[in-house]
Amino acid sequence: MPGTQRELILRFLAEPTDVNFGGKVHGGIVMKWIDQASYACAAGWCGTYCVTVYVGGIRFLKPIRIGSIVEIKSRVIYTGNTSMHISVDVLASDPKDNDFKKTTHCIIVFVAMDDKGNKIPVPKWVPKAEGDQDLEVYAKRLIELRKGIAEEMKERHLD
């Protein structure tokens, strides 16, 4: 049912095929995992197909080792009329100690689409807990920052 699945957690092992030249998980692989988890979260929230319209502020805090348990936590932190802001945290742990540490964070914005490729309304998310209200404020601050970035890019003819 749309508007009921706010969070999604994926867990799996980092595989040898995920390795980069430095022997850790490749950043592009982490970005793929983020995209998959956040899409599943957004689609679960809106109950329809959606597309990525923005990925921002991706921070790689720590490397992920091959063989680690990887946990991707995605959750809705703000909704507009047709858009959903999804906060994504990537955590990793050695399977022997189960001590998860945050390795990556970002915000992804999705827009809900109908079968003809038109934007459609999404269920409104209303923060209830204090921590959720803080997340909504965070999302709104990022919206304002993105406007400034978009204007700067327009001035530089990069869009």
Domain assignments of the chain as residue spans, ordered by start: 7-125
| Buried/exposed 44-83: b ≥16 CB within 10 Å, e otherwise | bbbeeebeeebbeebeeeebbbeebbbbbbbbbbbbeebb
Range in 13-22, 55-64, 71-80, 147-156 with the lowest mean pLDDT: 147-156
CATH number of the domain located at residue range(s) 7-125 in this protein: 3.10.129.10
pLDDT in tens, 94-150: 999 989 999 999 999 999 999 999 999 999 999 988 889 898 888 888 888 887 777
Specify the pLDDT at position 158. 56
